[in-house]
Amino acid sequence: MKSECEICGSASLRRLGERIYKMPLRDGGHFEFIQTDTICESCGFLFNTTPPPDDKLKYYYERNRHCAGDYDYENRLRMVKRMCGTIKYSVPAVKDIGSDSDFQDLLRDRGYRSDAERFDIITLYYVLEHISGIRDFAKGIIAELKPTGHLIVEVPDFARCPIESLYPEHLCHFTPFHLRIFCESLGLELIETEVAHSRNFGFCSAFRLKTNPVNMEEIYTTFEDNYGH
């Protein structure tokens, strides 16, 4: 069981309740998701403190009945192009993690390359909410960025569309505020956020690497001023 918030590191957590789902598998079986909804009393982040082990999650996603979503790929490509605006002397290296093959094919068709050791842009579309250890996962991705690299993240918007965010597979529930302070704590700075980017119930934020240290006291003051407790 998780004992600390992965957004702010606080151990001040409050259990709200438990949801249990049996998700169908392609072989006719079921996978049980137990969602122990817990809120961080320091920053307000909602997440599951009893996620399935990584090997169990891998087993599920290899066998689940996945249905392709209705995505606005052109909106995704427009943001990628904007983030590539300062790259003038080479073909941008773009790595997509977790999306369906259609978007990866589109990136190749538009001339972006994926054969690189470090990347100008890494995209995460509807991935982060499925991850149980988001901090270690994000650190590994950021290590693959060039010093001038960008990270694009799209997730369900818990503040605007809580029902969609509380889908049985989702282990974390982000608002634009929580995604921002999470990424800032990892050495990124926000460039822009777009609501209903490629799906109506989500939001997409673009970040770049920064060198200035994070002032967490200032972040929490901003949270209290904007949201309260």
| Architecture of the CATH domain 73-226 | 3-Layer(aba) Sandwich (3.40)
* Residues 205 and 159: beta-carbon distance below 8 Å: no
List every span in the chain annotated with CATH 3.40.50.150. Answer: 73-226
Q: Which residue has the tokens 């009393």?
A: 41
Q: What is the pLDDT, as a whole number, of residue 213? A: 44
CB-side neighbour CA atoms (13 Å) of 36: 12
Mean pLDDT by 10 residues, the chain (229 residues): 95 97 94 97 97 95 79 93 80 87 87 92 96 96 95 97 96 98 97 94 95 50 53
Q: What is the pLDDT, as a whole number, of residue 65? A: 77
What is the rounded CA–CA span in Å between residue 128 and residue 26? Answer: 24
